[in-house]
Amino acid sequence: MKIFILLALATAAAAVRYDGYQALRVEPRDELQLDFLNNLKNELEGRISFWSQPRTIKRPTDILVQPRFQDDIKELLDAKQIKYSVMIDDVQSVIDSQFRSEDEVEISADFIYSLYHTYAEIQAWVFDIADEYSSIAQQFQIATSYHGRAINALKISTGGGGTKKAVYWQGGIHAREWISPATVMFITKSLLERYGVDNDVTEILDTFDFYIVPSLNVDGYYHSWNFDRLWRKTRSVNRGNGCRGVDPNRNYEYEWGGEGANPNPCTETYPGPNAFSEREIADTTSFLLNANQEFVCFIDFHSYSQLWLAPWSYTARTRLPEDVEDHFDAGMKAITALESVYNTDYLYGPSALTLYAASGCSVDWGYAKLGAKYSYVVELRDMGSYGFLLPSDQIIPTGEETLEGVLALCKHMVEEYK
């Protein structure tokens, strides 16, 4: 018992705290104000953290500011007449309110979808759900993390011997976006339990094989649970630099290292020393390329902002993909169905044009390299009230609406491919 207490204390002492940190919502109204925010970002990188990039006036920029810089930042914004508001007054208190106690972990013999789950619980869930639906689902280890952790995946197949077209979904590429794995698990479970019961789901699963990874960046996720709730990147060591981690969603081998990636390893958008430097990304992409199936759908679930985005992500200065109209039709069906559940407002568009350019991203790789026609990146709830710290009472509603979105997309694909 003594050892346990000492360990617990050590963990608590090592954890990054955000007492008094504020999340500011900044709403630039023109290019001049955007430029100012970008300069601010470049100058203060490391001291203040941008939760969203200041690249468009269509969406606000959210900034995490530690207490000692708050007055200065607000003065600067006031001086430039840039509109802002305090979105979260004390980030640590929101984090504290969301952590489950160890007691809750122990009493939950059944998997509780309305709670956030640890790395170990999510990996065990993959085994358990495969077991529960063993006639159509099987689990396998798709990848291994930098720290040697298993990254488990689920394959759902109702037959066909691998001749069917395939769908790939992944969650948790960014560690702090906890709603992503939670949602991927919810929609996966819903598909499985509705097979043979709901005609649409049955037809979808009879048409496509599914490969699903609920939590991809497991080292980052573990770190987010145990040391720093707001950790985003992987946990790999950057040679010659004290800052750890690579942005796994800048690490894909398609237009790697271009716009929206920062060569400084200490930034949140560091793309790594080379494409596929991160084992998590190298392993999963290699599996998909060697799976010997034709992928027609690739979705990477993130949070937050409520966006359904299509290629291209790497730049806004190029022609849109030849499938742009089909991307639009299917994407609009998805968000219309999604919005109909709880009136959650979503925006659809090509990624770089809608938001900002980000190179080396999964959505472009899924489309251009894997050849999945319907490749999207989905930014789940919310619009920034809690940002990455979405309360667990929103897990089920987010799952329910996202399920309707993906079902509408799958029905579109069934029409096209059946």
Residue ranges in contact with Zn ion by CB under 5 A: 174, 302
Q: Alpha carbon of 44 to those of 49, 72, 193, 333: distances in Å?
A: 8, 12, 49, 41
The residue (of 189 and 302) whose beta carbon lies closer to Zn ion is 302
Least Cβ distance, residue 102 to Zn ion (angstroms) = 28
DSSP state of 172: -
Least Cβ distance, residue 320 to Zn ion (angstroms) = 22
Least Cβ distance, residue 98 to Zn ion (angstroms) = 18
The residue (of 174 and 279) whose beta carbon lies closer to Zn ion is 174
- The one catalytic residue in 255, 280, 379, 404 is 379
The residue (of 295 and 304) whose beta carbon lies closer to Zn ion is 304
Look up residue 192 and give its amino acid. L
Cα torsion for 11, 233, 231, 10, to the nearest 10°? 10
298, 372 in Cβ contact below 8 A?
yes
Cα(104)–Cα(108) distance, integer angstroms = 6
Least Cβ distance, residue 355 to Zn ion (angstroms) = 12
The residue (of 223 and 302) whose beta carbon lies closer to Zn ion is 302
Q: Let me know if 31 is a catalytic residue.
A: no
Q: What are phi and psi of 310, to 5 degrees?
A: -115, 170
DSSP state of 387: G
Peptide bond just before 304 cis, omega within 30 deg: yes
Q: What number of other Cβ atoms are within 10 A of residue 329's Cβ?
A: 13
Strands (E) across 81-180 are located at 83-88, 137-144, 150-156, 165-171
The pair of three-digit structure tokens given for residue 103, joined into one six-digit string: 């007691």
The residue (of 145 and 180) whose beta carbon lies closer to Zn ion is 180
Query: Under DSSP, is residue 61 helix (H, G, I), strand (E, B) or coil?
Result: strand
The residue (of 158 and 267) whose beta carbon lies closer to Zn ion is 267
Cα(412)–Cα(416) distance, integer angstroms = 6
Least Cβ distance, residue 164 to Zn ion (angstroms) = 29
Which residues lie below 8 Å from residue 122, measured CB to CB, with a gap of 6+?
181, 185, 214, 215, 221
Least Cβ distance, residue 387 to Zn ion (angstroms) = 11
Supply the residues annotated as catalytic: 379
